[in-house]
């Protein structure tokens, strides 16, 4: 009888483990438990293999809409347009209308946050407002939810509209898939791309060629991840200053807290290894709860949470907000500060300090959905 009892315990444990794997797979892939069970069972319950198999089966059709969906205008010419209206940093509305074949050349040298009076008189210091604004580093960090194939092409064009509006120097992206980033490369031609992988789903960094020069890059693996997560690091120069830029998508789901904290320790360790003459900026979808940051010992010396440093402004608190964002259509309200930006200014040389932060992506595109289920973060730094 005892042997039978052990077998029952083992079966119960196995069932619990596989149920947990199905929940994680469904959360990462955006599928349901039946799909998750199918892919996991076909791949001997190996999460990474199952996810790869799922993405390979689905990604080829993501942008089929680009080739098949067309609308006819008054003159009878077929075309597919996107018109997006959104508020810029000053609060004024701008409209962008882009043909699906258009490239977005973001090499315009107008300062990202310049005032309407670009000819402002020089201050006593002899530095104009335009010069001051032009020296600011602008960063966007955004989980773009490329795993969601519904209205994918329209939402990707929505992202391009925001890039055209804000012309950030650095873009830190999470939840990319190969066809999505190929789409971006065709349109955001003034950016250099660095990817965290070329398989499954991954992170990426976009660098504005006219202002940011890539020196080298590195991918740091998380050895115990079950969700194909890693840390993408690039070393660059910006107006002569040395920067280390990092992005990551830490393990998802509430029950993956221990793995998420392991990954956060890797991030903090890498930040701490930066030389004294290098400023480090990390941005990404951390999936963190504040209690988890406390459990790993808090932020390392010299590292600041930019949202906190700017005064914990309420309008920038929740980057994952199912109360305001209807993309996932979930029956519950969840409001979390999953997306975060960390800063460690160089000890030697000019100090880099946070200047401004705002959430972006809060306007629906023409399809009636938001660019992503996450809001993006737009942040500027004084350099």
**Catalytic residue positions?**
285
Which residue from 275, 278, 271 is spatially nearest to 237, judged by alpha carbons?
278
Residues 283/247, Cβ–Cβ less than 8 Å: yes
Query: What's CA 27's distance to the chain center, in Å?
Result: 17
Give dist(CA 132, CA 253) in Å, integer: 42
The CB density around residue 77, as the number of other CB atoms within 10 Å, is 9
Strands 137-143, 170-176: pairing is: parallel
8 contacts: CB under 8 Å, gap ≥ 6: none
The DSSP output letter for 116 is: S
For 156-199, the three-class secondary structure string (H helix, E strand, C coil) is: HHHHHHHHHHHCCCEEEEEEECHHHHHHHHHHCCCEEEEECCCC
| Residue 334 neighbours by CB under 8 Å, 6+ apart | 320, 321, 322
How many other C-beta atoms are found inside a 10 Å radius of the C-beta of residue 337?
18
Residue 253's region, left for phi above 0, alpha for psi from -120 to 50, else beta, is left
284: which 2 tokens? Answer: 């990404």
Residues paired with 97 in a beta bridge: 83
The secondary structure element, H or E, covering residue 84 is: strand 81-87
Cβ atoms of 200 and 171 closer than 8 Å = no
Strand duo 241-248 + 279-285: pairing: parallel
Contact by Cβ (8 Å): 204, 192 = no
For residues 359 and 335, give the distance between their C-alpha atoms in angstroms, rounded to a whole number: 14
For 353, the token pair is 């300090």
Q: How far apart are the C-alpha atoms of 81 and 15, rounded to whole Å?
A: 49
């Amino acid at each position: 009888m005892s042997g039978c009892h052990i077998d029952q315990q083992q079966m119960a444990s196995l069932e619990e483990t596989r149920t947990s794997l199905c929940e994680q797979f469904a959360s990462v892939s955006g599928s349901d438990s039946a799909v998750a069970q199918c892919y996991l069972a076909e791949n001997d319950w190996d999460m990474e293999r199952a996810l790869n198999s799922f993405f390979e089966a689905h990604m080829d059709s993501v942008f089929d809409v680009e080739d098949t969906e067309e609308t006819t205008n008054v003159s009878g010419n077929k075309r597919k347009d996107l018109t997006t209206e959104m508020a810029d940093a000053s609060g004024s509305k701008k409209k962008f209308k882009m043909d699906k074949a258009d490239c977005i050349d973001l090499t315009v040298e107008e300062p990202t946050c310049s005032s309407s009076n670009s000819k402002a008189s020089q201050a006593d210091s002899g530095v104009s407002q335009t010069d001051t604004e032009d020296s600011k580093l602008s960063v966007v960090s955004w989980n773009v939810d490329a795993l969601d194939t519904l209205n994918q092409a329209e939402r990707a064009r929505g992202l391009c509209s925001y890039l055209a509006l804000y012309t950030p120097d650095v873009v830190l992206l999470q939840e990319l898939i190969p066809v999505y980033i190929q789409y971006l490369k065709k349109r955001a031609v003034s950016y250099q791309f660095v990817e965290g992988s070329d398989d499954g789903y991954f992170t990426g960094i976009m660098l504005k060629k006219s202002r940011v020069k890539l020196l080298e890059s590195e991918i740091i693996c998380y050895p115990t991840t079950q969700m194909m997560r890693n840390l993408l690091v690039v070393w660059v120069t910006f107006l002569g200053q040395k920067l280390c830029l990092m992005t990551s998508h830490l393990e998802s789901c509430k029950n993956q807290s221990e793995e998420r904290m392991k990954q956060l320790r890797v991030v903090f360790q890498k930040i701490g290894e930066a030389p004294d003459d290098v400023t480090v900026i990390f941005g990404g979808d951390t999936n963190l709860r504040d209690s988890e940051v406390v459990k790993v010992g808090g932020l390392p010396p010299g590292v600041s949470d930019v949202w906190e440093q700017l005064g914990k402004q309420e309008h920038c608190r929740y980057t994952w907000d199912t109360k305001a964002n209807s993309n996932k259509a979930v029956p519950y309200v969840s409001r979390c500060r999953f997306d975060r930006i960390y800063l460690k200014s160089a000890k030697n040389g000019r100090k880099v300090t946070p200047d401004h932060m705002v959430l972006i992506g809060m306007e629906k595109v023409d399809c009636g959905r938001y660019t992503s289920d996450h809001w993006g973060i737009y942040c500027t730094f004084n350099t």
